[in-house]
Amino acid sequence: QVQLVESGGGSVQAGGSLRLSCTASGFTFSGYCMGWFRQAPGKEREGVAGISTYGRITDYADSVKGRFTISRDNAKNLLYLQMNSLKPEDSGLYYCATRRSCSSSALSQSGYNNWGHGTQVTVSS
């Protein structure tokens, strides 16, 4: 069965960096577009970044452009999110997910069908 396990979250001060990882198993990872989402307390889950099957196409939410980088290693079944210049508003539970179809919107959660349990990111000012 599809399994997605996020790791790498933690607590950092504003301006710091974190690198999230998502370990995928139970499916052909290289055949799926992937994405990262986040959810802050009391807010809806929002798309952060998406990536195509071989990483040639990436999409980012405006709020993270220039600070976050999504990447993948298909040989290791790993998805990454490098987060730099973190801000308190970046805090939340971060999820990785598989996209139903690469033609669907990269930042809309309705286009994703398998989710991990999330990893917590807390950025203090």
pLDDT exceeding 70 applies to what percent of the chain?
A: 100
Distances (CA, A) of 87 to 10, 73, 78, 118: 13, 27, 25, 19
Q: Give the pLDDT confidence score for residue 66 in this predicted structure.
A: 98
Q: Give the pLDDT confidence score for residue 89 in this predicted structure.
A: 96
DSSP states of the chain: --EEEEE--EEEETT--EEEEEEEESS-GGGS-EEEEEE-TTS--EEEEEE-TTSS-EEE-TTTTTTEEEEEETTTTEEEEEE-S--GGG-EEEEEEEES-TTS-TT-GGGEEEE---EEEEEE-
How do residues 50-94 score in pLDDT, each as one tens digit? 999 999 999 999 999 999 999 999 999 999 999 999 999 999 999
Regarding predicted confidence, which is higher, 105 or 25?
25
How many residues appear in the chain?
125
- Segment 26-48 shows an average pLDDT of 97
